[in-house]
């Protein structure tokens, strides 16, 4: 009875001012009003404009003096016609905007979102690089630190993780994901959601995660961003959907729709995707936001004639929030009057948005994330930077190390050559958001500090990132100047390299050459940098090639001619110190590739989990599936990566070779460090279903683990595999385990494996 009196009193307060309940509860130690009662009561008091305002997300802008909000958006916030803002951060600025919301009739707090993709201020390796650590604890840790800093800087919500499976390195946004495999991608998706959201969203150190891009965005035709996706249902469910599902099961609070179409219907209007699959089958309870103006862009897709029709289609499909398009706030009131949308659907969407704000504790304290003192203490702390360096080290992949050129010794004359030696801007990579590139630590400074006069360090830029003479053609004199500059850079590089004992060359892509809207048809190192590399190679000096890039590159010439190749990606704030530690052996490289590297762009899309054909490769038979000029295999396969030691795999066994459908399979293998340096090794387990009612891949990753093995030490590694993990979607889209013959593989990458057969019976 006492509780019912409390609820009635709260409802009376709500009728006057919904925020007064939160203010009352924040001052007294009493139980808060029931969430559903509170939100439904609030919705009942809202006008249609205020409801549509909660479904509207506008951007803040940046000027020379800092973040600014457009005047018309200010009025919308104060009138309750905008409930969410993105690209707004810092405690002072978000407090200013929240003050505007507190002037609205119902004083509903704003939700602040931002692209916190691989760190907020402390920038970690790009997600593709971080995935090469094969360490979900590190993935969770980086997300937790990102949430700590972002929440301290006024943010409630990040548009991450991006869990799109990607098998075409021409697509620039491979940099933002975890590679080509659904099992690894799912594990990282779960870790990221856990890191961002923690165990309690009301903790001021947690932020909402947003799984993107739902769905299939990572498979655009021709690897061209925003392009059409055309995919079978089996490929969709067996390969591309699992990481989204894993993130939803981990409790992700929001989902972002993708730009592409699915089965001929853009994702933003796809009711089967957003309602039938996401909500009804998967049980998702959070809210769905569009990608930037993707409702408006349906007009270009051609499934609607105008923005009005687009807004109707999006809401009816199950889209809750309109990012920047202003379609809902402009057109849905009219659509409601015409009975083309239902008030119940609008109310349901509003409920989901308000529920997120409730979970964050914003109704209790709209300024919970606006603490400037906390921002000073939490952002770019010593501990955060140490973790960033640790993850950067774990993300690097040693691709080649001929004659043990690496690690370097801190003696003699070491020449540092290339556009990424002193560079800071590109170190933090694309989608670095609020990161300040001027605070990044570069390679040159780290090497000079590490060698401390024990070695002579010389430097030459050698080349620009790209060949300016092909980009600037306004005047002949400009071309002449650019060519002359290029010649002088090359001349200087040759001069210092000729005097060096070893040459370290830092080459690759600029940060803008991968990421959104950054697809490339030629995925090699830019030609002017290759010319520099070849000129230095002609001197006959040992060369270490450091790669800065956001995607797999085609490196056939480099692999054939260069002594050592270290893939460093874009490693973030602590790039220089991390690379330096690996260069000089203070740390042992342990990364393994999560995307296959092609020999040529003509091979892509290329991935390890391909299917056989009716005419599989046979070098002795002409009419089999192969190229005339290169092997079918990638240059560097999925799971590949070297260390400053060697590992020997032997004695792969199973607990038995015949299993019933409900029995677990235990695989055991012995891994020995046969070198002279302690190191981490990522052990990988793959399975092949030899005969299926639908054709099955030649290998599928099922388990992996990272182990520290001392020099000379042997470790026995055990994995237990459930038969549930052998199921797949068949031609009827049933989730089945089919009895029959299988092979289990374990090894150091997807190609270098030991194998053992086993059988699953039908009972």
Share of the chain above pLDDT 70, in %: 93
Catalytic residue IDs: 291
So what's the pLDDT on residue 763? 61
The neighbour count for residue 707, using CB atoms within 10 Å, is 15
Is the pLDDT at 484 greater than 70? The verdict is no
Block residue for tokens 């609030």: 42
So what's the pLDDT on residue 66? 72
Closest alpha carbon to 702 in 758, 750, 756, 761: 750
Which backbone phi and psi does 730 adopt, to 5 degrees?
-90, -170
Closest alpha carbon to 510 in 390, 413, 426: 426
The string of pLDDT tens digits covering residues 500-536 is: 999 999 999 999 999 999 999 999 999 999 999 999 9
User: Would you say 641 and 589 are in contact if contact means Cβ atoms under 8 Å apart?
Assistant: yes
DSSP summary character for residue 175: G
Q: What is the pTM of this model?
A: 0.94
Q: Give the confidence band of 453 by pLDDT, cuts at 50, 70, 90.
A: confident
Closest alpha carbon to 224 in 269, 257, 256, 259: 259
Whole-angstrom distance, CA of residue 126 vs CA of residue 535:
31
Closest alpha carbon to 18 in 35, 32, 4, 39: 39
The string of pLDDT tens digits covering residues 690-726 is: 999 999 999 999 999 999 999 999 999 999 999 999 9
Is the pLDDT at 469 greater than 80? The verdict is no
Is the pLDDT at 383 greater than 50? The verdict is yes
- Domains of the chain (ranges, CATH numbers): 43-375 (3.20.20.300), 385-595 (3.40.50.1700), 647-760 (2.60.40.10)
Tokens of 190: 């779960």
The whole-number average pLDDT for the span 254-278 is 98
The whole-number average pLDDT for the span 195-213 is 96
Among the listed ranges 59-73, 333-347, 699-713, which one has the minimum average pLDDT value?
59-73
Exposure of 622 by Cβ count < 10 A (0-12 exposed, 13-18 middle, 19+ buried)? exposed
């Amino acid at each position: 009875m006492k509780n019912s009196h409390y609820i009635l009193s709260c409802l009376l307060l709500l009728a006057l001012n919904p925020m007064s309940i939160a203010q009352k509860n924040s001052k007294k130690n009493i139980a808060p009003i029931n969430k559903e009662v509170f939100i439904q009561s609030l919705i009942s008091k809202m006008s249609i404009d205020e409801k549509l305002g909660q479904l509207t997300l506008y951007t803040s802008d940046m000027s020379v003096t800092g973040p600014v909000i457009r005047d018309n958006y200010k009025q919308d916030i104060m009138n309750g016609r905008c409930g969410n803002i993105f690209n707004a951060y810092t405690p002072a600025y978000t407090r200013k905007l929240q003050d505007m919301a507190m002037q609205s009739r119902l004083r509903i707090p704003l939700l602040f979102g931002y692209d916190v993709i691989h760190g907020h201020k402390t920038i970690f390796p790009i997600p593709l690089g971080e995935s090469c650590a094969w360490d979900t604890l590190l993935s969770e840790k980086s997300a937790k630190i990102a949430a700590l800093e972002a929440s301290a800087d006024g943010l409630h919500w990040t548009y991450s993780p991006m869990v799109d499976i990607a098998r075409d390195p021409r697509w620039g946004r491979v940099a933002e994901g975890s590679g080509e495999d659904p099992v690894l991608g799912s594990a990282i998706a779960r870790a990221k959601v856990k890191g961002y959201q923690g165990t309690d969203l009301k903790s001021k150190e947690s932020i909402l995660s947003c799984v993107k891009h739902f769905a299939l965005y990572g498979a655009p035709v021709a690897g061209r961003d925003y392009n059409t996706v055309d995919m079978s249902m089996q490929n969709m469910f067996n390969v591309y959907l699992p990481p989204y599902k894993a993130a939803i099961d981990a409790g992700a609070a929001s989902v972002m729709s993708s730009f592409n179409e699915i089965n001929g219907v853009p994702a933003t209007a796809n009711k089967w995707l957003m309602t039938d699959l996401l909500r009804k089958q998967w049980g998702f309870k959070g809210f769905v936001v569009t990608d930037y103006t993707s409702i408006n862009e349906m007009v270009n897709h051609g499934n609607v004639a105008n923005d009005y029709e687009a807004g109707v289609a999006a809401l009816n499909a199950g889209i809750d929030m309109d990012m920047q398009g202003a379609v809902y706030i402009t057109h849905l009131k009219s659509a409601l009057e015409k009975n083309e949308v239902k008030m119940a659907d609008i109310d349901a969407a509003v409920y989901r948005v308000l529920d997120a704000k409730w979970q964050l504790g914003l109704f209790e304290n709209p300024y919970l994330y606006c603490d400037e003192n906390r921002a000073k203490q939490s952002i770019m702390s010593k501990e955060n930077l140490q973790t960033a360096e640790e993850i950067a080290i774990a993300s690097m992949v040693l691709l080649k190390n001929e004659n043990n050129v690496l690690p370097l010794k801190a003696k003699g004359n070491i020449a540092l050559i290339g556009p990424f030696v002193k560079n800071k801007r590109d170190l933090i990579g694309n989608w670095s958001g609020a990161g300040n590139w001027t605070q990044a630590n570069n390679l040159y400074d780290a090497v000079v500090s590490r060698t401390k006069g024990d070695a002579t360090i010389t430097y030459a830029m050698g080349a620009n990132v790209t060949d300016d003479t092909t980009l600037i053609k306004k005047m002949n004199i400009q071309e002449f100047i650019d060519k002359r500059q290029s010649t002088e850079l090359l001349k200087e590089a040759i001069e210092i390299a000729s005097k060096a004992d070893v040459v370290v060359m830092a080459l690759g892509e600029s940060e803008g050459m991968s990421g959104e809207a950054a697809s490339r048809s030629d995925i090699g190192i830019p030609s002017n940098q290759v010319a520099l590399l070849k000129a230095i190679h002609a001197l006959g000096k040992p060369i270490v090639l450091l790669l800065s890039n956001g995607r797999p590159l085609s490196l056939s010439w480099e692999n054939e001619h260069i002594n050592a190749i270290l893939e460093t990606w874009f490693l973030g704030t602590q790039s220089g110190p991390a690379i330096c530690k690996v260069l000089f052996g203070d740390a042992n490289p342990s990364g393994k590739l999560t995307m296959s590297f092609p020999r040529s762009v003509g091979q892509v899309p290329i991935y390890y989990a391909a299917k056989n054909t009716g005419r599989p490769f046979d070098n002795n038979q002409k009419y089999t599936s192969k190229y005339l000029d290169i092997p079918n295999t990638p240059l560097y396969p999925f799971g590949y990566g070297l260390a400053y030691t060697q590992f020997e795999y032997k004695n792969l066994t199973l607990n038995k070779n015949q299993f019933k459908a409900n029995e677990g399979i235990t695989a055991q293998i012995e891994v020995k460090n046969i070198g002279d340096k302690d190191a981490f090794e990522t052990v990988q387990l793959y399975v092949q279903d030899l005969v299926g009612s639908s054709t099955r891949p030649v290998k599928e990753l099922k388990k992996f683990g990272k182990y520290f093995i001392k020099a000379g030490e042997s470790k026995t590694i055990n994995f237990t595999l459930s038969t549930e993990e052998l199921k797949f979607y068949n031609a009827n889209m049933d989730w089945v385990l089919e009895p029959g013959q299988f092979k289990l593989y374990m090894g150091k990458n997807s190609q270098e494996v030991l194998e053992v057969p086993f059988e699953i019976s039908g009972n």
